[in-house]
Amino acid sequence: MKGDIGVIGLAVMGQNLILNMNDHGYKVVAHNRTAEKVDEFLQGPAKGTNIVGAYSLQELVDKLESPRKIMLMVRAGDVVDSFIDKLVPLLDKGDIIIDGGNTNFPDTNRRVAALKEKGIHFIGSGVSGGEEGARFGPSIMPGGSPEAWPFVKPIFQAISAKTENNEPCCDWVGNDGAGHFVKMVHNGIEYGDMQLITEAYQFMKDGLGMTHNEMQSVFIEWNKTELNSYLVEITSDILGYKDTDGEPLVEKILDTAGQKGTGKWTGINALDMGIPLTLITESVFARCLSSLKDQRVEAEELFGKKESIVEGDKQVWIEALRQALLASKIISYAQGFMLMREASNENGWDLNYGNVALMWRGGCIIRSAFLSNIRDAYDIDPELSFLGSDSYFKGILENSMSAWRKVAAKSMEVGIPMPSMTSALTFLDGYTTARLPANLLQAQRDYFGAHTYERVDKPKGEFFHTNWTGKGGDVSSTTYNS
Ligand code: 6PG
């Protein structure tokens, strides 16, 4: 009997996905560039299963049933191209290559188009959930050649996480790089969620002077509210974790955040498309700022250490902080969905936002109860332009507003940096202001560069120039928007 699917790349994610597929009754052919890795896997975790090995790409191809489905679980970038180049001459028309790495979506756009010319189908799929997700049910976000989906669907939906109603956290996202795009936004949102949690932690630790056990209890309680999520849950575990000397391990960890680039891509993409994705972008910058450790240490000496004491009823502040976190999280998701909407329109992907929320409901790093409410919002209005306008989310934003403002103002007053929570509030203030001061900005542009402006008392699209100084002349520059 030939194999149902081949997987290339036997690092932890690849191995765990294979074992997961095997658990669901699929015969998997496993390959790795170094043959010893194949042997180690077959004699180790894969022992006693139906998994078979392949020591060359030709052997892998020969052992698969048609149309062949070959999933790459290798490092994103050139390695993917190099495997594609080697595989293509061995494949038949109609065969399917799947890239399950964290690939930047323009690469997937390019690969789908290039392989289409050769008659090979290509799927670029986001896979989220880390090692455990891969082993027992990840969130899977596939996009690319739609013709390939019916062949891959049963396997992917079988191995994916399921919601509380047993719906698979995996569905077809859209053409081209849509799957990898949605995974990129997932990761951007992951950056935002993590940053918001760290801001709440710093407020509690430095502002309210709370112990780690106290903070752990707060996160345990928060996890029973609308904030119920994987990231809140692991935060409570982390805060309670003691090093061998009995002290909280978290305080011994160097405060410089790493990043592999997906958050940065999300921010760059938002700038490219003109979407005000402020919270996620602030989260990326917060990681960048954290990495300037030596400079920060010097600057603290230079400017003096801040006394960030927050006075008042601790319990009242904790509840205010919870509301500020929840409201900011709504803004973060609202901005992320705005970005997806713009990309969908621009690329003709026809994204189904309710389905995206469903795919993120389980298995992935940002899984949370909250995503069910997002799905409901898009069920009610599939074209919702701002998540915060949905009645459920609008209600939370309105109810949290006063607490959110208090936390933001206090953080500024005592000098606790909370870039994401404060920028989220500023975004909402801007988004809900019918008249912003951009009229003055337009006047400035016209003053120094004759860039022209539109008038509130004339139809849109009619451009005016004023000779502000009487010296500049009446010639205007060409009008275009980037
Ligand atoms: C997931 C994660 C994963 C990502 C890590 C690390 O969905 O399982 O998003 O894909 O690689 O979270 O990302 P950073 O190193 O950029 O923090």
Sign of the torsion angle spanned by Cα atoms 169, 175, 176, 178: negative
pLDDT at 194: 98
**What tens digit of pLDDT does each residue of 93-132 get?**
999 999 999 999 999 999 999 999 999 999 999 999 999 9
CA of 127 to the centre of ligand 1 (A): 10
101 CB under 6 A from ligand 1?
no
Q: Which atom of ligand 1 is nearest to the CA of 262?
A: 16
Q: For ligand 1, say whether the CB of 218 is within 6 Å of any of its atoms.
A: no
The CB of 53 under 6 Å from ligand 1? The reply is: no
Give exposure, 319-344, as e/b (b: 16+ Cβ within 10 Å). ebbbbbbbbbbbbbbbbbbbbbbbbb
Q: Which of 238, 149, 242, 231 is nearest to 195 (CA)?
A: 231
Residue 89, preceding peptide bond in cis (omega within 30° of 0): no
The whole-model pTM stands at: 0.96
In the structure, what pLDDT confidence band is assigned to residue 473 with cuts at 50, 70 and 90?
A: confident
What's the pLDDT at 200?
98
CB 257 within 8 A of CB 291: yes
- Best CA proximity match to 425, nearest among 437, 407, 446: 407
Q: Is the CB of 128 under 6 A from ligand 1?
A: yes
pLDDT at 84: 98
pLDDT of residue 480 exceeding 80: no
Cβ atoms of 343 and 109 within 8 Å: the answer is no
Can you tell me the mean pLDDT for 136-141? 98
Cα distance between residue 361 and residue 368, in whole Å = 6
pLDDT for 302-324, tens place per residue? 999 988 899 999 999 999 999 99
Question: What pLDDT shows up at residue 137?
Answer: 98
pLDDT value at position 176? 97
75 CB less than 6 Å from ligand 1?
Answer: no
Is the confidence at residue 267, as pLDDT, over 80? yes
Return the residue whose CA atom lies nearest to atom 2 of ligand 1.
Answer: 128
Query: Vertex 452, ends 446 and 456: CA angle to 5°?
Result: 110
440 C-alpha to ligand 1 centroid (Å):
42
Specify whether the CB–CB gap between 57 and 87 falls below 8 A: yes
CA 266 to chain centre: 8
Residues annotated as catalytic are: 183, 190
Tens-digit pLDDT profile for residues 158-173: 999 999 999 999 999 9
Calculate how far, in angstroms, residue 54's C-alpha sits from the geometric centre of ligand 1.
29
**What's the rounded Cα separation, in Å, for the pair 236 and 220?**
6
Residue 260 Cβ < 6 Å to ligand 1: yes
Between 19-23, 336-340, 417-421, 472-476, the lowest mean confidence (pLDDT) is in 472-476
CB 136 within 8 A of CB 109: no
In 204-310, alpha helices (H): 212-222, 230-240, 262-273, 278-290, 293-303
How many angstroms is it from 135 CA to the middle of ligand 1? 16
CA angle 347, 349, 350 (to 5 degrees): 130
| Whole-number Å distance between alpha carbons of 32 and 9 | 5
**Ligand 1 neighbourhood includes 423 CB (under 6 angstroms):** no
The residue whose CB lies within 8 Å of the most ligand 1 atoms, and thus the one to mutate among 99, 197, 262, 371, is: 262
- Ligand 1 atom closest to residue 287's alpha carbon, by position in its atom list: 17
Q: Is 16 in the pocket of ligand 1 (CB under 6 A)?
A: no
- pLDDT at res. 477: 78
Task: Name the pLDDT band for 4 (thresholds 50, 70, 90).
Answer: very high
Please give the pLDDT value at position 38. Answer: 98
pLDDT value for 193: 98
Q: Which atom of ligand 1 is nearest to the CA of 191?
A: 17
Question: For the chain, what is the mean pLDDT?
Answer: 97
Q: Is the pLDDT of residue 482 over 80?
A: no
pLDDT recorded at residue 475: 80
How confident is the model at residue 198, as a pLDDT? Answer: 98
SS3 28: strand
Q: Ligand 1 centre from 187 Cα, in Å?
A: 6
Other CB atoms closer than 10 Å to residue 250's CB: what's the count? 18
